[in-house]
Structure 1
Amino acid sequence: MSEKQWNQIKPLLPPQKSRTGCPAKDHRLIINGILWILRTGAPW
């Protein structure tokens, strides 16, 4: 994902704060993973 695309999506995401349990994951990393799955057709 390009910086331009990320800057368009970032304001739509909730704040990246861990409430309890596991530490919060990087939103950009998660979205890049989802886009990779969609692009390659790899199984979840």
Structure 2
Amino acid sequence: MSRTSVLSDDQWSRIEPLLPSSDGRRGRPFRGNRKVVEGIIYRYRCGIAWRDL
């Protein structure tokens, strides 16, 4: 596991279809789903406060 990447590409390919998409929605499209998910995983793994993300 690298310092910058928490999920492997194989793991991400399994998780990605489960996340909501911005297709057909008004406003700014969703970006960086992988970054958000990895931030959540990092937070739980290290036990840091949400405000420190």
TM-score above 0.5, yes or no: yes
Are 2:46 and 1:40 equivalent residues in the alignment? yes
TM-score (norm 1): 0.76
Q: Percent identity?
A: 40
Name 2:33's counterpart in structure 1: 27
TM-score normalised to structure 2 length: 0.65
Which stretches in structure 1 are left out of the alignment for 5+ residues? none
1:8 matched to 2:14: yes
Larger radius of gyration: 2
- Structure of greater relative contact order (alpha carbons < 8 Å, 6+ residues apart): 2
Number of positions where the alignment pairs a residue of Structure 1 with one of Structure 2: 43
Q: In the TM superposition, what whole-angstrom CA distance separates every residue of 1:1-44 from its partner, at most 9, and x where no partner exists?
A: 11011000011111145x45655331100000000000000111
Alpha-carbon RMSD across the aligned residues, in angstroms, is 1.7
